Amino acid sequence: MKLNYKKTFILGFGFFAISLCAALYDSYVPIFLNKFIDKVWLIGFLMTLDNYIGLFLQPAIGALSDRTNTKFGKRMPFILICMPLAAVFVSLIPNHRDLISLIVIIVLYNLIMASFRSPTIALMPDITPEPLRSKANGVINLMGGVGSVIAFLVGSKLYGANPAYPYYMAGLLLLISLVVLFFNIREKRDSLTVAARENAPEKISLRQIFSDKKSLTNVLMLLLAIFFWFVAFNSVSTFFTLYGKEYLHVGEAAAASKLTYFSLSMVVFAIPAGIIGTWIGKKKTIVIGISIIVAVFAAVFFTNSIDTIGYLFIVGGAGWALININSYPFVVSMARPESIGTYTGLYYLFSSLAAIASPPLAGLLIDRLGYGVLFKYSVTGFILALVCILFVKAPAASRVEAAAESQS
């Protein structure tokens, strides 16, 4: 059994567009807000609106897509409707007239983005056999990384010419990605789970999904592990630049550049992480990844050298790739064919909860104990994630594959 890399790269255009838009949003929307708002905490709150919206909307949309059945499939209708709307609203962001118009635009933009994220991501397990999903997720995350790099490198140059140009680029690339997906991915043709889902009950509730207590415990422990490692990761990604400035006494640019080492390492190791997950199993790969990142962040305790931390972050990025690339495929490996979208929504529910909860909690601890607590906080989160993942039992066989076999 071999992964269809061409089809997977094409599928990755969806995540490419999502990641590019997210990077531009995080980079420049705070600057737009700062023209009208001088309270940093309020800007920070407005910048978390996407997480609050995703917290409630993405699980609901994921479950709704499981129950949708059109000639275009279950996931594609959400993409066909919402991607063009997202292209319009991302282009409107820099054309705000005042604070009210900016807030209205970003709220509508985030509602639209949240409405097609889960269906877009759920397409991968729909059309990819379970044993190959880690490899496929590595390819898709590589595409997402390319989108982020384009946003940072090309977007910054376009922003210098005109602050609106990066957002026009994003709108255009959203439309191009939509065309690529529409003309190359035929959900009814390509999905491995169409028959199983079409013969499934019309509505699958969370109570039905978690009716088995053993299954409930297994899934919840995995979701808690996801929550804790995103709690740990988000604290460092949010505060490391300030950690460098206030604790290591280096420039903001120097600190930010070392954080880029971590991100680029994760992108470079995305496909190898998927291959390793396929070889030795998702759980073992995640455990190795957590162990690596705990060792790396613990080592940061003992150095004040920003260059040494940069080298450590290269190793840490590889560890994060082992975790991140295999976590979503691990979640959906526990799903029935008719509930992949619901599990996708649950994955984003717990990661959104972490994104909402961790920065304020870490910030509170830093205010009381100083920046030296940052990596201790992060290591604690990763250790809690490790404890949770050790209690998770990997599925012996994919329910999707079992359902497919029953149809043959």
3-state class of 73 per DSSP? Answer: strand
Residues forming beta bridges with residue 70, ordered by sequence position: 73
Is the pLDDT assigned to residue 408 strictly greater than 50?
Answer: no
Work out the pLDDT band at 205, boundaries 50, 70, 90: low
Work out the pLDDT band at 407, boundaries 50, 70, 90: very low
Work out the pLDDT band at 342, boundaries 50, 70, 90: confident
Contacts of 225 (CB under 8 A, 6+ apart): 286, 385, 386, 388, 389, 392
Work out the pLDDT band at 140, boundaries 50, 70, 90: very high
Which of 2-16, 62-76, 180-194 bottoms out in mean pLDDT, i.e. has the lowest? 180-194
Give domain 205-408's CATH number out of 2.70.170.10, 2.170.190.11, 2.40.50.220, 1.20.1250.20: 1.20.1250.20
Is the pLDDT assigned to residue 59 strictly greater than 90?
Answer: no
**In the chain, what are the helix, strand and coil shares in percent, each to the nearest 5?**
85, 0, 15
In contact, 383 and 287? CB cutoff 8 Å:
no
Which of 248-262, 286-300, 357-371 bottoms out in mean pLDDT, i.e. has the lowest? 248-262
Chain CA centroid to CA 371, Å: 27
- Angstrom distance (rounded) from CA 166 to CA 161: 10
- Angstrom distance (rounded) from CA 182 to CA 10: 10
Quick: pLDDT tens for 115-124.
Answer: 998 888 888 8
Is the pLDDT assigned to residue 159 strictly greater than 90?
Answer: no
Is the pLDDT assigned to residue 366 strictly greater than 60?
Answer: yes
- Angstrom distance (rounded) from CA 59 to CA 53: 10
As a whole number, the mean pLDDT across the chain is 86
Predicted local distance difference test score (pLDDT) of residue 211:
59
Predicted local distance difference test score (pLDDT) of residue 226:
96
Chain CA centroid to CA 318, Å: 16
Work out the pLDDT band at 126, boundaries 50, 70, 90: confident
Distances (CA, A) of 87 to 24, 44, 199, 300: 13, 24, 35, 41
Q: What is the CA radius of gyration of the chain?
A: 21
In contact, 282 and 330? CB cutoff 8 Å:
yes
Predicted local distance difference test score (pLDDT) of residue 3:
82
Contacts of 323 (CB under 8 A, 6+ apart): 229, 286, 289, 290, 293
Tokens of 111: 């509602």
- 205-408 has the same fold as 1-192: yes
3-state class of 48 per DSSP? Answer: coil
Is the pLDDT assigned to residue 107 strictly greater than 80?
Answer: yes
Query: Any idea how long the chain is?
Result: 408
| Start-to-end C-alpha separation, the chain | 18
3-state class of 384 per DSSP? Answer: helix
Is the pLDDT assigned to residue 292 strictly greater than 70?
Answer: yes
The single-letter code of the amino acid at 220 is L
**Mean pLDDT, residues 100-122:** 92
Give domain 1-192's CATH number out of 1.20.1250.20, 3.40.1410.10, 1.10.1760.20, 2.30.30.180: 1.20.1250.20
Work out the pLDDT band at 318, boundaries 50, 70, 90: very high
Predicted local distance difference test score (pLDDT) of residue 204:
53
Predicted local distance difference test score (pLDDT) of residue 401:
41
Is the pLDDT assigned to residue 113 strictly greater than 90?
Answer: yes
User: Which residue did the predictor score with more confidence, 54 or 284?
Assistant: 284
**Mean pLDDT, residues 111-140:** 88
Quick: pLDDT tens for 237-270.
Answer: 878 888 888 899 988 778 877 877 888 898 899 9
Residue with tokens 């978690």: 210
- How do the domains of the chain map onto residue ranges? 1-192, 205-408
Quick: pLDDT tens for 386-400.
Answer: 999 999 987 764 444
Chain CA centroid to CA 50, Å: 13
Contacts of 205 (CB under 8 A, 6+ apart): none
Closest CA to 260 of 21, 14, 5, 27: 27
Is the pLDDT assigned to residue 206 strictly greater than 80?
Answer: no
Work out the pLDDT band at 405, boundaries 50, 70, 90: very low
- Angstrom distance (rounded) from CA 11 to CA 13: 5
Closest CA to 7 of 130, 144, 191, 174: 191
